Structure 1
């Protein structure tokens, strides 16, 4: 799949899947718009200016051609909205989640070094490295009640929450750093490493390949060849 290609027909395909599933369950047509409105070029430029970044092209074109939120892996995408004058990513009506663009997204194998640097910058020499959470206990010692917020803010720096998949599972899209445009999965409930999201051949997904793989699977499940899904004549 061409990462630079547009999104022609994708919005209509997703809506068709949603309508087919509602009909199959006897729910009638969806009662609310399937997608958030698409963003204008000026609005996308405003987002990028606010954060001082350029969004990955696959995601930027999705925002412009499909919508600023809607169905997607695995439950739905977070919605990019302007709230009280600032752009952020919103999940289920909660407070906007902001991007911290101050540094690159830190891969799991480099995370302990990031924690060390933060603790030493606070004038603290780390003493305890936990088997699963590296220097989390030292963060608690140094930052007290702010530890949870600081730990998560630093861990997610350079990336956005692109979908909350339920049961503590989340997916993020990397915006800053050498792996910009790639996606990572993580079970925040048990704090494992961030895992690259890959296709059946082990190739790392970008936003476009990830979204289209999900859509094609949904079409196979909801429509099938006899109902107009991929492979129908």
Structure 2
């Protein structure tokens, strides 16, 4: 991990020189500058207060590189701000917060809007076939889906992609340490991170370095 941290330091410095005019997406927000690191005591205090154990890669980043700032898309949120599910800069902003200690429930992508659309098709077919029993069963399944909680727990909102899309670091449950994308606001569901040509699961430091490599390549063109 120490070697990767040093690579990240070097690549971030290289990127700042390559994109000195901040032309890359989000660069004008963070200008490739990281906030001062947290102390391990501060991280431990956060973990105690919210009854969580943060992924070690993320803890190492927070305590050796910085507490938010330069990062993918519009930059990294600070640890404390990462508790906020949705960001709104208006004066009347009403923030909602993740319930951090409960396990993140997913291991595969999930899109309730897609499931609802599929049930609606089945309901229509059952109605056309005159199958009232099946229609009632499907309506009950639809109602249960609509009433499902949004499952906003077990993760941190570490970056804002834009258009309501957020990037999450999973901190509890089977996916702990992995990066997920939440695009439910656009009916895109919630899924394991798939931007910047990534395939498969990806951990925090690998996600951050992937952004550096991608942006360095774009800046060198």
- Give TM class, smaller chain: 0.5 to 0.7
Offset of residue 31 of structure 1: 9.4
2: CA distance between counterparts of 1:95 and 1:72?
A: 25
Residues 1:212 and 2:220 are matched in the alignment: no
Q: Which residue of 2 aligns with 1:34?
A: 33
Of 170, 173, 188, 2:184 maps to 188
2: CA distance between counterparts of 1:40 and 1:111?
A: 38
Q: Which residue of 1 aligns with 2:12?
A: 14
Q: Which residue of 2 aligns with 1:229?
A: none
* 1:153-232 equivalent positions in 2, closer than 5 A: 155-197=151-193, 202-223=199-220
Q: 1:141-179 CA distances to partner (integer Å, 9 max, x unpaired)?
A: xxxxxxxxxx44xx2211111111001221111111111
Offset of residue 41 of structure 1: 1.1
Q: Which residue of 1 aligns with 2:53?
A: 54
Cα 1:96–1:54 shift into 2, 3 Å: farther
Q: 1:49-90 CA distances to partner (integer Å, 9 max, x unpaired)?
A: 1111111011110101111101222221111248xxxx9459
Of 145, 150, 155, 1:135 maps to 145
TM-score w.r.t. length of structure 1? 0.64
Q: 1:78-132 CA distances to partner (integer Å, 9 max, x unpaired)?
A: 11248xxxx94595767776441342111167898xxxxxxxxxxxxxx6444xx
TM-score w.r.t. length of structure 2? 0.67
Does the CA-based 8 Å contact 1:79-1:91 persist in structure 2? Answer: no
Q: Which residue of 2 aligns with 1:144?
A: none
1: CA distance between counterparts of 2:162 and 2:22?
A: 24
Give the secondary-structure state (helix, strand or coil) at the position aligned to 1:219.
helix
2: CA distance between counterparts of 1:206 and 1:161?
A: 15
Structure 1 portions without partners, runs of 5+:
113-126, 140-150, 225-233
How many pairs align? 186
Offset of residue 37 of structure 1: 1.0
* 1:68-147 equivalent positions in 2, closer than 5 A: 68-81=67-80, 88=83, 98-107=97-106, 128-130=140-142, 135-136=145-146, 138=147
Relative contact order, higher structure (CA 8 A, sep 6+): 2
Cα 1:197–1:134 shift into 2, 3 Å: farther
CA-atom RMSD, angstroms? 3.7
Structure 2 portions without partners, runs of 5+:
113-138
- Worse overlay, 7-16 or 29-38: 29-38
